[in-house]
Amino acid sequence: MVRYKHRYIVVEIQIDGKPIHAPLKLKPYVLYEAVIEKVQQLHGDYGVALIKPGFMTKYCNEMTRIALMKTRHEPYRILASSLPFVNTLEGKSIALNTIYTGATMRQCFKFIQQHQRKHLNQAWSKLRTDDERKAFELAVMDLTMADPNNVSNT
């Protein structure tokens, strides 16, 4: 039996014209399709054939605009080189910034937790009531995985 090594890439999605603290309605499959399309443009059929078997969007947080993508170890550089060129998502002008690349999901989630804690501390002062703060904290610190029905892995 063969063990496949994976790489997990954490990206931050920045949208032109929207405030940093405004939530982003994003389905993981939309991000998956946009990345595959850009890999097709940059690396052709060869690039798509390399990354598609192990590529998956695992996590998207609407509040902090963080996404976690999984790919196989060998072609992860093709994926990583294509991410900065993804500039539209559902007709919106965006920028994808790679903020962390890890070998395990556990390490990526540790990094995401630290990153989201910083985001929470920055936004904490803008909220007025304790109920708003508690709801915002639950939304920001939500580390549940993406819905498997909306994620494509083939």
Neighbours of 76 (CB within 10 A): 22
Phi, psi for 115 (deg, rounded to 5): -65, -45
List the domain boundaries for the chain. 6-140
- Strand 56-61 relative to strand 92-102, pairing: unpaired
Half-sphere exposure at residue 91, Cβ-oriented, CA atoms within 13 angstroms: 0
Half-sphere exposure at residue 107, Cβ-oriented, CA atoms within 13 angstroms: 11
In percent, the amount of the chain with pLDDT more than 90 equals 39
Alpha carbon dihedral 107, 113, 119, 123, in 10-degree steps, equals 180
Strand order in the sheet with 92-102: 56-61, 66-72, 6-15, 92-102, 88-89
Topology of the domain covering 6-140 = Alpha-Beta Plaits (3.30.70)
CA-to-CA distance for 137 and 125, rounded, in angstroms? 12
Cβ–Cβ under 8 Å, residues 31 and 131: no
Q: Is the pLDDT of residue 80 over 90?
A: yes
Residue 146 has what pLDDT? 47
Q: What is the reported pTM?
A: 0.79
Which of the two residues, 121 and 11, has the higher pLDDT score?
Answer: 11
**If residue 9 lies in a helix (H) or strand (E), which one and from where to where?**
strand 6-15
Residue 137 has what pLDDT? 73
> Which segments of 63-133 are extended strands (E)?
66-72, 88-89, 92-102
